[in-house]
Structure 1
Amino acid sequence: MLSVKEYAARQDISVGRVHQLIREGKVPAEKVGSSWVIDESALSRQPPLSRPLSQANAWSFIALLSGLEPEHLDPTAHWRLALKNAALAKSRTPAPLLSSWLCRRAPVLALQANANDLADLRSDERVVLSGISDDRAGLSSEHEVEAYVDPEVSKDLIREFLLIEAKHAKNANVWLHLARVDADADGRAPLGLVLADLADHAGPRESARVKELLSSR
């Protein structure tokens, strides 16, 4: 069995990316105590992935995807991100690229909530809906919630809604991305975040929607 850190080193990807792959069910893992462990056989199932952007560049790229101008970005970095943006537009399968590039944008918690509490969680003013819970995704998510929450209030939210960590990714019905996000005038997350979150789910519907949203920008 491999620790998350060992698996990340063997695959030449970040620890954060491994946790996302576990959440998405792409890497089979088991919880032992407070840590995830991965069978070595998973190494042969997971192909090498594109190297992720740094957290700062990931948020700059999210701004570009959202039609915004990134702040504090030097011309060379801007040019490189513009090339990635053009590559996404031309790609037949942009979702895997997007997921690999933006995996360092924010930590994410895979949680379980009482189904009766999901509507209240979805409407809580402390969260900004994204991914499958954003209306632009065009996906029914009544039984799931995906959102961004300021890390400073995340513990209060988790306590109030009695959210617990999902022992297996397939059992999660709440995904909380820990980052402070400014919603637009309509209360929605930047489009770039919606695209990144949908790409992380890696399902055929989500991947198809990523391509559609990219082409309609």
Structure 2
Amino acid sequence: MFTGLKSRFEEKRAFLSRQTQDRIEQFASFERQQSLIEMERSQSQQSILNQEIGKYLKTVHPTFLLKQDVHRALLNMLYSRSEGTFNMNLSMTKEMRKAYSFYHNELKIFIALLERRGFRMEGREELFMQTFLTKLRENNYRYLSDVYGDFVPENASIAGAFEAYIDAVDRKDKYESGHLDFFATYLNQKGIADFTWTKNKMKRKLKQYEKAHKQEFKLKQLERRLQKTS
């Protein structure tokens, strides 16, 4: 009798063990399916972003967004949009005002179009911003490379690169965010500097260099003016 009870107990335990294992396998299968669904959804969302942002940035070139505090402010606008709140800093810089105007007059219309085409912004604000900035940087670098060419000599020092940049770029564009972003990337690609400076630090360094060599740059400008008259 005891042997029979023990046998039935072992059978019951084996049955429960199989049930538990089956549930574990079913759960694992469900998790794999959900992961695949989420992966496909993410790929679809990224594909929409890549395609539509690429087309959109052929129509606008908002390089002021390449300044870190400006695109952070824009990201906060995207969060506010998703949350249904409103946030505006009244003490805005010139570039901040540009970003605010760009968002309300341009970007939110583009986002509405994106959402109509299947993109879900809520929860993907950072993905949108990262994709947007990456493509904007690529376009900006390509465009300014065509404008200025390879203007810094090989094996130039940082000082030499600064001199070439200030000499090549129009006064009104020298400290513009798109040009600074281009210049930092250019120096990296030339191997002149492994740039870890922020754009603000590079801007300060450029201004310091220009101020220290102010007379020399003025002489060069005068020489060019005189050459045009001859």
What TM-score, normalized by structure 1, do the two folds share?
0.28
Which protein shows a greater Rg?
2
The structure that is helix-richer by fraction is 2
- Give the structure-2-normalised TM-score: 0.27
Q: Which structure carries more relative contact order (alpha carbon 8 Å, separation 6+)?
A: 1
